Amino acid sequence: MVSSIVAIVLFALGLAMGAVLVSTRYTGDLGRLARFLRERDPQSNARATAAAAPGVTELADAVNAELDRSAQAHLEMLRRQQEFQRDLSALSHDIRTPLMGAKGYLQLARDEKDSAVRSRHLDAAAKRIDATTELLDQLFAYTKSTDPDLALDLEPVLLKPFVEEVLLGQYPVFEKLGWEPRVTFADAGVSIEANRDALSRILVNLVVNALRHGSSAPSIEEAKTADRVFLCISNAVEDPTALDPDRLFDRFYQADAARGAKGSGLGLSVSANLARAMGMELAAELQGSVLKITLSVPL
């Protein structure tokens, strides 16, 4: 009887000592993790380590995974900051260049005695001021389109006459280039839910992009499925290798900028943002030498 009691006591003591050892081990590992997080240099790549105590290793792995996510988020923030700084530099250049040109032509006009020549200088200055105004308008539109709280009122819009109205607004440019756009609608009576002002800006930007950067008259086609309407604007471009369709809707993206691309590089980005605000999508692809931009609208 006594021996049984002794055995039970010894067993209980063993369990208690084991529990103390395990508790000490857990406490030590948790303390090391706490010191690691408290003293770790944010710029270092140090990793959390732990003994093989059940649960603590998993905790260390979770800490390391969170550190990896934080480091990746920091790198992404730095990348975006660098992009923003480059964009600001490009915007400053785009604004300063036409203004300096306008200033130069105004100085020439001030000193010119010949009225005809003076008139040409003033016209040239006015064109450069108009270019600056267009850029600022696009910048304002971009800022507005990126507002996370942007809410657009939608209404039924007959698509075909709306597209024709946009094309009519660009008639002088078409006439100057000698181009005649081709418009094909499978359903001339198709109607979509859209904000008229936003849809107008989207289509104007797409048509202006085709006029500025294309090498032939654009083709506009409508197609429809059971739940979506697709409006495709396509035309040939002179150098398809200079285009990156995946970046076409990026802020300030300009293909072949070294040769002095026209425009601000904001128009298509504004269009993509406005389309997204109305539940629509814009996508671009190259088919040989033809750039095709598709506006996808849910029915």
pLDDT digits (tens, 9 = 90+) for 104-147: 989 999 888 888 989 999 998 998 898 788 778 777 777 777 77
Q: Which residue has the tokens 């006029």?
A: 211
Nearest to 60 by CA among 38, 29, 35, 39: 29
Nearest to 173 by CA among 133, 124, 143, 208: 208
Judge: domain 87-145, CATH 1.25.40: no
Reported as a pLDDT band with limits 50, 70 and 90, residue 13 is very low
CA distance 14 to 85: 66
How confident is the model over 65-107, as pLDDT tens digits? 887 787 788 777 777 677 667 666 666 766 777 888 888 989 9
- Which pair of structure tokens corresponds to residue 225? 């499925």
String of DSSP letters for 198-255: HHHHHHHHHHHHHHHHBSS--EEEEEE-SSEEEEEEEEEBS-GGG--GGGTTSTT--T
- Which pair of structure tokens corresponds to residue 140? 């304002």
Chain Cα centroid distance, residue 61: 34
Higher pLDDT, 149 or 182: 182
For 265, the 3-state DSSP assignment is coil
How confident is the model over 194-228, as pLDDT tens digits? 999 999 999 999 999 999 889 999 999 999 999 99
User: pLDDT value at position 198?
Assistant: 92
CATH of domain 155-298: 3.30.565.10
Q: Where are the domains of the chain?
A: 2-74, 87-145, 155-298
How confident is the model over 161-180, as pLDDT tens digits? 999 999 999 999 999 999 99
